[in-house]
Amino acid sequence: MISAYYFGAISLVLIGLYAVLVKKNLLKILIGLSIMETGVNLLLISIGYVSGRSAPILSEGITPSQAVDPIPQALVLTAIVIGVATTAMALSVAIILYEKYRTLNIEEIRRLRG
């Protein structure tokens, strides 16, 4: 039986992918990208989870053997930052595109570009 964490995370990725593949509105595609990114982050985190252990912070009464895997958490921290940066960048491109073409429908934009 596949774990609910994996199932949920992969579902999020697929929902995001669906939005990227099918939706015509640029903002909806960007939303799809964001959802995909969230799904990927959740998947990474759930890979590092070990049932019954606590957060990987060395403190009173917690030894390395009692903590979950810290590496995915570090990865995800990086991935979140990258994700925010790309989203911000993409949104600024979307603003420019709207100012230039007065529409956010990607097919319209392609047609107008010639």
Residues that bind another protein (CB under 8 A): 17, 20-22, 29, 106, 110
Distance between CA atoms of residues 72 and 74, nearest Å: 5
Question: Smallest distance from the beta carbon of 20 to another protein, in angstroms?
Answer: 5
Beta carbon nearer to another protein, 54 or 92 = 92
Beta carbon nearer to another protein, 62 or 94 = 94
Question: Smallest distance from the beta carbon of 106 to another protein, in angstroms?
Answer: 7
- What phi and psi, each to the nearest 5 degrees, are found at residue 67? -100, 160
Euclidean distance between the first and the last CA atom of the chain, given in angstroms as a whole number:
51
Question: Smallest distance from the beta carbon of 6 to another protein, in angstroms?
Answer: 14
Question: Smallest distance from the beta carbon of 99 to another protein, in angstroms?
Answer: 19
* Burial class of residue 30, CB neighbours in 10 A (0-12, 13-18, 19+): buried
Contact of 44 with 64, CB cutoff 8 Å:
no
Beta carbon nearer to another protein, 67 or 106 = 106
